[in-house]
Structure 1
Amino acid sequence: MINGDINGNFVDAENAASVVGRVNFEPGSSGNIVRFEPGSSFSGKINVKGTNNRIEFGPHSRIRGSLRISGDKRRLSFGDYTTAEEIYLVALRADVIIGKWCMFSRKIEIRSSDAHSVVERATGLAINEKEPVYIGDHVWVCAGAHINKGSRIPSDSIVAAMSFVNRAFEEEGVILAGIPAKVVKRGITWNRKARKSFTQDQLDYRRYNATGEIIVPVPDRENV
């Protein structure tokens, strides 16, 4: 991984805990920034095409996978303490914003575009426009889930294994499951530790790192 200026693009990995892999800026790309905040780690490939795009890894995030951003002035970001074991993410001409404390399992795919056009023959117009993807804070995405353009996943929620999310949801604390995904359970939260019970203090005011250790006491739910 190269740190510094690369043909008018910039990689800031000076304070990262660990960065293994490569960043590729396609010919003609300029003004792009890939920034790893203190304590963050990444393993995999990053491909950037276009101008003035930003990829951001929040403090203590840990991401493994393949990331691609294409367009102009687009943003792809992972919030603080978010982890991903194996993710394929394509921010194609629309943003992908992921909040803090999220947990992504393996074989996760996230796209803000179909990458190809569905065209209405009579008018010649494409009818499958790109749309941004927003994932709130403290969201658990289980193995094999696919999150498509226009998706919005509220904070404190779970996306079940192998589910396909393709629209915006507003209610927090839900389980989304199925193809396409729908709300199958309400009033839930989740925790990285596997145990039979939790205190309300543990559920409401703390989040855990990947090894199950309490790392930060959080004073209110707006910041978890």
Structure 2
Amino acid sequence: MNELKRLYALCRKSDSVFLTVLMRYLGYRLSGKMIFAHQQAIIKHADHISTNGPLKVGLDYAGFVHRNDVTYLNIDGRLDCKGTASIGRGCRMAVGAQGRIELGQRTFINALTTFVIMHTLRIGDDCNISWECQFLDDDFHEIYYEGRKAQPSPDITLGRRVWVGSRVSIYKGTTIADGCVIAANSVVRGTFDEPNTLIAGNPARVVKRNVSW
């Protein structure tokens, strides 16, 4: 009963239809998944999603989104949630047939963020991703030129407790160490293996060390 009360309160705050959310949850639960989805959430290939805790899709409150904003998850590959996770309203997620997204425990993704993942995206435990971010691990169109170096792995990896500011773009081959903060509007590509740093700019670089949040 307390769980139902909490769900009802969440739905009221986030302008979600409680009965719709509940009925959709019961349907997903029959297939062994714990998915709480807003009435405007579209999930294709939900059978490609695994959950080890509640996954909220479009439910958490954000004051700048509308109740009719559509959240669209197109999971041709895999979406694996290691624990409780939240995907904000208006997010877009396209996972290719060979792609995989792994969300760590207590992952929070704010509204209007886009994921286009053809390879692998790993997000560690306790990460916060702000609104209107972009994650892209493929160029789709190759450019060839003299002296072109061999390309590294296209996978994107965020360590534990990484905070990604609003409107950040993270591109293929990026690794972010534990405890880092990425400043708003940064464009990030490459390996940042020093933990607890502030990463900022276009192209992004380390601007502060021994950062905590």
| TM-score after normalising by structure 2 | 0.71
Task: Name whichever structure is richer in strand by fraction.
Answer: 1
* Contact in 2 for aligned 1:118/1:126 (Cα 8 Å): no
**Aligned counterparts, 1:28-67, within 5 A:** 33-43=48-58, 44-49=71-76, 53-64=77-88, 65-67=91-93
Cα offsets for 1:62-97 (capped at 9, x unmatched): 11211111132x3201111110112211111x1000
- The 3-state SS of whatever aligns with 1:156 is coil
* 1:151-190 equivalent positions in 2, closer than 5 A: 151-190=174-213
Aligned partners of 1:23, 1:40: CA distance in 2, in Å? 12
For 1:130 and 1:111, the matched residues in 2 are separated by 13
**How far off is 1:57 after superposition?**
2.4
**Which amino acid letter does the alignment assign opposite residue 75 of structure 2?**
V
Residue pairs, 1:204-215, within 5 angstroms: none
Structure 2: give runs of 5+ residues left out of the alignment.
Answer: 1-23, 59-70
What is the rounded CA distance, in whole Å, between the counterparts of 2:43 and 2:149 in structure 1?
A: 31
Amino acid aligned to 1:174: T
For the residue of structure 2 that corresponds to 1:62, the secondary structure is: strand
C-alpha contact 2:152 2:173 (8 A) present in aligned 1? no
Ranges of 4+ aligned residues in structure 1 off by more than 6 Å: 125-130
Q: Secondary structure at the match of 1:116?
A: coil
Which residue in 2 is equivalent to 1:24?
A: 44
Counterpart CA distance in 2 for 1:96 and 1:23 is: 19
Q: Which residue of 1 aligns with 2:121?
A: 96
Q: Any unmatched runs of 5+ in structure 1? A: 6-10, 26-31, 191-224
Give the CA RMSD over aligned residues: 2.7
Give 1:39's aligned amino acid: P
* Residues 83 and 172 (structure 1), Cα distance of their counterparts in 2 relative to 1, 3 Å cut: same
- Out of 142, 145, 164, the position equivalent to 1:117 is 142
* Residue-pair matches, total: 170
CA deviations over 1:14-52 (Å, ceiling 9, x no partner): x33x22312224xxxxxx621233222122211133xxx
More displaced 10-residue stretch of structure 1: 61-70 or 145-154:
61-70
Checking the alignment, whether the CA contact within 8 Å between 1:112 and 1:130 is kept in structure 2 is: no
Q: Does 1:70 align with 2:93?
A: no
Contact preservation (8 Å) 1:103, 1:141? yes
More helix by share: 2
CA distance in 2, matches of 1:108, 1:146: 6
CA contact (8 A) 2:163 2:180 kept: yes
